Chain A
Amino acid sequence: MADAIMQSREAAAERLKRAPLVTNNRSMSWITNHVASCTEKPAPTWWWIAFTLSSSLALVSVFCIGYLISTGVGVWGLNHPVGWAWDITNFVFWIGIGHAGTLISAILFLTRQKWRTSINRAAEAMTLFAVVCAGIFPAVHVGRIWMVWFLAPVPNSNAIWQNFRSPLLWDVFAVSTYFTVSVLFWYTGLIPDLATLRDRATNKFRKFFYGIGALGWRGGNRQWKHYEMAYLILAGLSTPLVLSVHSVVSFDFATSVIPGWHTTIFPPYFVAGAIFGGFAMVLTIMLPARAIFGLHDMITDDHVDKMCKIILLTGSIVGYAYAMEFFIAWYGGNMYEQYAFINRATGPYWWAYWTMIFCNVVAPQLFWFRFFRRHVLSVFIVCMFVNTGMWFERFVIIVTSLHRDFLPSSWNMFYPTWVDIWTFVGTFGIFFALFLLFIRWLPMICIFEVKAVLPEADPHHGHDDQAHAPVGALKEVAH
C-alpha cells in the first residue's frame, strides 16, 4: 500500500517536472558553436537570394519616398476628409510589431520567464527594424520634410514653439525615446556575445569588428555585477516605456473629436493589439529561422506553444475591445458614434472590417487547442492571418472613421495610388533585408543567457542540497 502511494507520488512529481529549456542536454560549448557558427559559415545560397529580393524591394520603397518628397504628398491617394490613410496605418502597424520584442526582453525578464532567453535577441532586433520602418511614415507624411526640425524644441527666430499639449508631439518624443532605449537595451545584451564572437574570430576583420563591438568585455564577476544591474534597470525602464508608446500612439486618435476615435478604451486596446501583432511577427520570422538554422533545441516547441498562448490571450483582449467599442457606442447614446460603428461593419468598408474580425478574433481561437499550437504549419498560417488582420485593424480605425465627415457633402472614399502601395510593400523589403543582415552578422540567440538557464549553470548544481531545491529552480539572471 505504502509502496503504491510512493509510486503515485513519484509519478506525479515526474509529471510536474518542468520541461528543460534547452533540450537534448546540450553543453555550453555546443550552444556557443551552434549560434556563433550561423555568423561564421559562408552565407548560404538561400540567404543571397532572400537578401537580393528584400533589398531590391527596399529600393522600391526608397524610390517611392524620393518621388513623394520631390513631388508632394499629392502622389498618395489622400483626399478630404481622408487626410490620414495608409501612411499612418503603416506607421501604427510597424510600431505595434515592435512591441513584442520589448515585451519579451523586458516584461518577461521582470516576470522571470526564463524561456525568453532564446528568443529575446531576435525579437529585439525585430523591434528595432520594425521601428525603423514605422519611423519612415510620420517623417515623410509631413510633406515638407525639410521642415521636420520644427518638431524639435529648438530656439529659433521664426516665432515658432512646439505645442507640447499636442499628442502628435508626444508621439515624436515617445517613438524616438522608444527607438533609442531599444537600441541601448539590445546593445547592452549584445556585449557579452560580441565578446564570444571576438574570442572565436579567426580573421583580422572579424577580430577588429567584434573586438570594437565587445568594448573589451572580460566576463569578470565585478563586471557582471554592474552589467546585471544595468540590464535589470533597462528592463524596468522598458516595461512602462513599451506600454506608454502605443498608448501615446493611440492618443493621436483618442484625443481628437472624430467619432470612432474619441474613446477611452484606445490605450489598453492598442497595447494589447500591438503585442498580439508583434508576437505573430516574431513567430513569422523565427519559425523559418529555426528551421533553416536547426535551432530546435533552443527554440523548442514549448517556446512556440507559449507564444501561441500569448497570441490567444492578446487576441481575445482585442476581440473584447472590438465588442466593447460597439457596446459603448450604443450605451453612450451618441448618434455620431453609433453611426461610425454601424458604418464600420456594414458601410462601404465592411470587407475591411470583417477581414479584421476574422483574422484577429476568429483565427487565433484555434490556439485553444494544443494540436494547433504544436503544429508548425498551423501556427505559421494563423500568424499570417494575424499579421494581415492587424494591418486591417489600423486601416479600419483610421479610414472608416475619417471617410464619413460631419458634413455629408464631404463624404469621400479612399483609394490608394501605386505610390501608397509600393511604399508599404517596400518597407517589408527594408524589414527583411535588415533582419537578414542581422542573422548573418550577430548571434540571433542570446548565447550567454541561454547558457545561464542550463542546469549546470546553477552554482549549487550537483550538491547534496539539490534534492531539496524545486525542480526547475534554475539560475536566475535577474539578480
Chain B
Amino acid sequence: MTINGNTQAQLFGMGAEVPTASALYQAAERVRDAGYSRWDVYSPFPIHGMDRAMGLKKSWLSALVFIAGITGLTIAAALQFYPSSIEYPLVVAGKPTDFFTVPAFFPIMFELTILLSAFTATFGMLALNGLPRWNHPIFNWDLFKKVSNDGFFLAIESTDPKFDEESTRAMLESVGAKHITLIYGD
C-alpha cells in the first residue's frame, strides 16, 4: 500500500486506527507484550494509565524542573545578599543590613524559584518531545487528521527491530485495528 502513489519515499512505519480509548489501551498492551520498542499511540487527549499499558517510565521532566528551581533560588539569593548585605548595604530608616534581614529576601527567592521552574517545565517539555518541529512523516497519513478530534491511532516505526510488514500487519489485525496503512516520509 502506498501513500499518494509514492513508493520511492522513505518508509516511516505502519499506522492503524482503533475505534475507542479502551480499544487503544488494550491494543497498546498487546503491542508492548509483542516486544516492540519504537512505536506510539495517538489520541485526542491523554489516556489514564496509558504509560503503563505502553510500558513507559515516568517522565524525568520533574528532575529538570527541580534543578531549575534550585538555580532560581540560588540566583535570587546571590542577587540580593551580595549587593544588599556585603557590597553595597543600603541603610533605610536606620534598619540593619546584616544576615538577620534574610526574611525580607524570601519573596524574591520564592518568585525566581517559581519563574525558572515554570520556564523549564514548559520549554523542557517541548524539548523532551522534540518540539517545535515543522513536519512529521505521520502527518502524511490523511486519516491522521482525526487524531485531534476523535481518532485513536497506533503507529509502529519501520526502524523498530521487530518491524516486519507482514508480521506487524498481522499483529495489528489481531488487536482489532482498522485502516492499516504504510506511512511514508517525504
Q: A221-B50, A234-B121, A462-B22 are in contact. Are A177 and B115 (CB under 8 A)?
A: yes
Q: Are B45 and A449 in contact (CB under 8 A)?
A: yes
| Interface membership of chain A positions 232-249, coded 1 if the CB is closer than 8 angstroms to chain B and 0 otherwise | 011001101100100010
Instruction: Give the chain B neighbours of A205 by CB distance below 8 A.
Output: none
Complexed CA–CA distance, A253 and B131 (Å): 44
Q: Are A233 and B84 in contact (CB under 8 A)?
A: no
Pick from A165, A199, A449, A459: contact of B21, CB under 8 Å: A459
A-facing residues in B36-61 (Cβ within 8 Å): 40-51, 53-54, 56, 58-59, 61
Q: A173-B108, A188-B122, A220-B40 are in contact. Are A229 and B61 (CB under 8 A)?
A: yes
Pick from A32, A238, A463: contact of B149, CB under 8 Å: A32
Q: Are A165 and B43 in contact (CB under 8 A)?
A: no
Q: Are B44 and A28 in contact (CB under 8 A)?
A: yes
The answer, yes or no, to whether B114 is at the interface (CB within 8 Å) is yes
Q: Are B83 and A161 in contact (CB under 8 A)?
A: yes
Complexed CA–CA distance, A462 and B26 (Å): 12
Chain A: minimal CB distance from B11 (Å): 18
| Interface membership of chain A positions 166-198, coded 1 if the CB is closer than 8 angstroms to chain B and 0 otherwise | 110110011001001100110110001001101
Pick from B50, B59, B107, B117: contact of A226, CB under 8 Å: B59
A-facing residues in B95-149 (Cβ within 8 Å): 95, 101, 104-105, 107-108, 110-112, 114-115, 117-119, 121-122, 124-126, 128-129, 131-136, 138-139, 145-149
Q: Are B21 and A458 in contact (CB under 8 A)?
A: yes
The answer, yes or no, to whether B6 is at the interface (CB within 8 Å) is no
| Interface membership of chain B positions 138-166, coded 1 if the CB is closer than 8 angstroms to chain A and 0 otherwise | 11000001111110000100000000000
Pick from A218, A240, A477: contact of B136, CB under 8 Å: A218
The answer, yes or no, to whether B182 is at the interface (CB within 8 Å) is no
In this complex, how many residues of chain A approach chain B with their Cβ under 8 Å: the count is 70
The answer, yes or no, to whether A370 is at the interface (CB within 8 Å) is no
Q: Are B44 and A451 in contact (CB under 8 A)?
A: yes
Q: Are A463 and B84 in contact (CB under 8 A)?
A: no
Chain A: minimal CB distance from B92 (Å): 6
Complexed CA–CA distance, A448 and B83 (Å): 48
The answer, yes or no, to whether B79 is at the interface (CB within 8 Å) is yes
Pick from B28, B46, B119: contact of A224, CB under 8 Å: B46
Chain A: minimal CB distance from B93 (Å): 10
Q: Are A184 and B42 in contact (CB under 8 A)?
A: no
Instruction: Give the chain B neighbours of A28 by CB distance below 8 A.
Output: 44, 149-150
The answer, yes or no, to whether A216 is at the interface (CB within 8 Å) is yes
Spell out A's residues near B (CB within 8 Å): 27-29, 32, 153, 161, 163-167, 169-170, 173-174, 177, 180-181, 184-185, 187-188, 192, 195-196, 198-200, 215-230, 233-234, 237-238, 240-241, 244, 248, 251, 447-449, 451-452, 456-463, 475-477, 479
Known: A153-B79, A216-B132, A459-B48. 7 other contacts (CB 8 A): A165-B92, A173-B107, A221-B56, A229-B61, A447-B44, A461-B21, A462-B22
